[in-house]
Amino acid sequence: MTKKLVAAALISHLSSMATEFEKNGAQDTPYDEPYTTLTTNLIRGGNAYETIPNLCEFIFEFRNLATDNSDALHQSIVNYIETKMTLLTHGEQAEACVTLDTIAKAPGLDASQSELIVQAAQAICHGGKVLKVAYATGAGSFRQAKIPGCLWSW
């Protein structure tokens, strides 16, 4: 199995995980995507056609709901690589390997409507619909440091 096919097999597994999150995972409806998402965003491999590539790299990310532990999600991917991917690669190419590098990790923000800071923001904004964003913000880091925070828009 070529390295590109090994990468494709891992990407396929990540896609299956994403489908499972969407169909059966925890839901938090104020998000535009109300479940943990997992996407493959960049794939690079080979340098010409009619050659077998010696490397395939790809970048993926997951944006997890607070109810889905990011460390546990990461570990489940590592476990898959160490068990299933090792069997795929070492059967035909003993020198093949799969590595996983964490480029960034940012804590999500999950502020409850019952929190004083959220109520104050709603009062400033004259009520309005509560929404949550799936991208990283400083508020998630503040929350991790036990400093109350929320985001608001008017």
> What pTM, to 2 d.p., does this model score?
0.81
Instruction: Give the angle subtended at the CA of 146 by the CAs of 119 and 29, to the nearest 5°.
Output: 50
Non-local (6+) Cβ contacts of 58 within 8 A are 7, 11, 40, 41, 42, 43, 44, 45
Assigned token pair, 44: 């690079």
Question: If we measure between CA atoms, which residue out of 145, 146, 152 comes closest to residue 120?
Answer: 152
Give 55-84 as a DSSP string: -EEEEEEEE--TTS-HHHHHHHHHHHIIII
Residue 18, pLDDT above cutoff 70? yes
Residue 11, pLDDT above cutoff 70? yes
* CATH class of residue range 3-90: alpha beta
Residue 3, pLDDT above cutoff 60? no
Average pLDDT over residues 107-122: 83
Average pLDDT over residues 100-108: 85
Average pLDDT over residues 81-101: 76
What ranges do the domains of the chain cover?
A: 3-90, 106-154
Residue 106, pLDDT above cutoff 60? yes
